[in-house]
């Protein structure tokens, strides 16, 4: 069977499409025939590498996919051949609070990911998906969807009368826009593109700010809230956005710290943090229980993940180049 692998060398064009042995399901495991995957910024970083980071000798990248149970191992009664499933991002975090152990087994990181035709998972490492949900839509959920869900439904729950700000129009942010809308909050979106701001408005955003032409976007965000400040900020920008996010937040506001799109470094104004009673809440994706809760809400709200484009399995490098260019809105998918 075919798989994409990082083999001792970083870089999109260094990815290799290789032939791997067919996996078999042992006690408690299932083999899933992957039908779709979606890309996250993390996958791009894994493939391109970070300065000084050694490339894995052989790793299948990409955390998010969906497929069909192809074989079940002994002792598996919860799943049957033909079930439509997604594997969870953390194979080791089922329920309860986060811990080092819970975060230890991550697809496309510490474990091989989903860019392979068939993959073996523990039976409790996959979740059944609704019949009506496409494989591509399901494949957008394990990382981007769940991170946005955990931010706005669990760690900094929002509701009517509140304002949420999401940065940029990538995977996590567009899910955050959709969830915030469904939860009844008003949404401010920032983007480098006026065209994407229009797309975000069409999707339900109440206000858009171009962060290139308005680098001090916190002023406009505060003005939109009549000077009070934003209740919850989905902070994915990192180095160039955290100070703006803290300035835009209301007294007692919550900033869910998720990403590093503009760089890993940051200087935090400690007086601003304590004087304004801000809460900076760092999160990494979520548990299987969070995922099941999110899936139930997506079904109830009939929410459709926003997929910009779907690429063929053979075109994974092209899809990663598209992600690197930033020329997309929402999610990029792969069809097997």
Ligand X SMILES: NC(=O)c1ccc[n+]([C@@H]2O[C@H](COP(=O)([O-])OP(=O)(O)OC[C@H]3O[C@@H](n4cnc5c(N)ncnc54)[C@H](OP(=O)(O)O)[C@@H]3O)[C@@H](O)[C@H]2O)c1
Query: Does the protein bind ligand X through residue 326 (CB under 6 A)?
Result: yes
CA distance 260 to 258: 7
DSSP secondary structure string, 207-219? EEEETTT-S-HHH
Q: What are the respective helix, strand and coil percentages of the chain, to the nearest 5?
A: 30, 25, 40
Q: Which helix (H) or strand (E) holds 327?
A: none
Q: Which of residues 47-86 bind ligand X (CB under 6 A)?
A: none
Residue 97 CB burial class (10 angstroms; 0-12, 13-18, ≥19): exposed
Contacts of 165 (CB under 8 A, 6+ apart): 187, 188, 189, 190, 221, 230, 232, 233, 234, 245, 248
Query: Does the protein bind ligand X through residue 243 (CB under 6 A)?
Result: no
Query: Does the protein bind ligand X through residue 151 (CB under 6 A)?
Result: no
User: Is residue 3 within 8 Å of residue 18, measured between CB atoms?
Assistant: yes
Give the binding range for ligand X (CB under 6 A) out of 54-62, 64-72, 116-124, 277-285.
277-285
Residue 263 CB burial class (10 angstroms; 0-12, 13-18, ≥19): exposed
Query: Does the protein bind ligand X through residue 236 (CB under 6 A)?
Result: yes
Query: At closest approach, how far in Å is the CB of 158 from ligand X?
Result: 18
Other CB atoms closer than 10 Å to residue 59's CB: what's the count? 21
User: Is residue 258 within 8 Å of residue 176, measured between CB atoms?
Assistant: no
Query: Does the protein bind ligand X through residue 144 (CB under 6 A)?
Result: yes
Give the binding range for ligand X (CB under 6 A) out of 48-56, 105-113, 184-192, 223-231.
184-192
Of 24, 57, 110, 192, which one interacts with ligand X (CB under 6 A)?
A: 192
Query: At closest approach, how far in Å is the CB of 113 from ligand X?
Result: 14
x/- track of binding to ligand X for residues 196-225 (CB under 6 A)? x--------------x--------------
Query: At closest approach, how far in Å is the CB of 329 from ligand X?
Result: 7
Query: At closest approach, how far in Å is the CB of 62 from ligand X?
Result: 12
CA distance 68 to 34: 7
Residue number with CB closer to ligand X (33 or 127): 127
Of 168, 208, 253, 305, which one interacts with ligand X (CB under 6 A)?
A: 168
Query: Does the protein bind ligand X through residue 190 (CB under 6 A)?
Result: yes
User: Is residue 89 within 8 Å of residue 63, measured between CB atoms?
Assistant: yes
Q: Which of residues 282-321 bind ligand X (CB under 6 A)?
A: 283-285
Query: Does the protein bind ligand X through residue 172 (CB under 6 A)?
Result: yes
User: Is residue 189 within 8 Å of residue 247, measured between CB atoms?
Assistant: no
Of 69, 221, 260, 320, which one interacts with ligand X (CB under 6 A)?
A: 260
Query: Does the protein bind ligand X through residue 322 (CB under 6 A)?
Result: no
Residues at the interface with ligand X (CB under 6 A): 40-42, 143-144, 147, 167-173, 190-193, 196, 211, 236-237, 240-241, 258-262, 283-285, 323, 326
């Amino acid at each position: 069977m075919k798989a994409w692998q990082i083999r001792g060398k970083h870089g999109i064009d260094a990815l290799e499409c290789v032939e791997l042995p067919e996996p078999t399901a042992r006690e408690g495991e299932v083999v899933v025939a992957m039908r779709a995957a979606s890309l996250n910024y993390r996958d791009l970083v894994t493939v391109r590498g970070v300065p000084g980071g050694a490339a894995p000798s052989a790793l299948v990248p990409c955390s998010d996919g969906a497929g069909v149970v192809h074989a079940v191992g002994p002792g598996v009664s919860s799943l049957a051949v033909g079930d439509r499933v997604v594997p969870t991002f953390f194979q080791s975090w089922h329920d309860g609070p986060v811990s080092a152990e819970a975060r230890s087994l991550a697809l496309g990181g510490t474990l091989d990911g989903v860019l392979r035709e068939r993959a073996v998972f523990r039976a409790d490492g996959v979740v059944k998906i609704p019949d009506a949900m496409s494989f591509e839509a399901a494949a957008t959920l394990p990382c981007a969807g769940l991170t946005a869900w955990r931010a706005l439904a669990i760690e900094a729950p929002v509701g009517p009368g509140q304002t949420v700000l999401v940065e940029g129009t990538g995977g996590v942010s567009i899910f955050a826009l959709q969830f915030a809308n469904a939860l009844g909050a008003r949404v401010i979106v920032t983007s480098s593109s006026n065209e994407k701001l229009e797309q975000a408005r069409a999707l339900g955003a109440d206000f858009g700010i171009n962060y290139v032409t308005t680098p001090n976007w916190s002023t406009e965000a505060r003005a939109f809230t009549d000077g009070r400040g934003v209740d919850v900020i989905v902070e994915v920008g990192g180095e160039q956005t955290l100070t703006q996010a803290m300035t835009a937040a209301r007294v007692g506001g919550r900033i869910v710290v998720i990403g590093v799109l503009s760089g890993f470094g940051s200087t935090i104004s400690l007086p601003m943090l304590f004087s304004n009673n801000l809460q900076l809440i760092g999160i990494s994706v979520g548990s299987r229980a969070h995922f099941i809760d999110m899936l139930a809400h997506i079904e109830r709200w009939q929410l459709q993940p926003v997929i910009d484009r779907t690429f063929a399995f053979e075109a994974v490098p092209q899809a990663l180049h598209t992600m690197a260019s930033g020329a997309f809105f929402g999610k990029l998918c792969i069809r097997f």
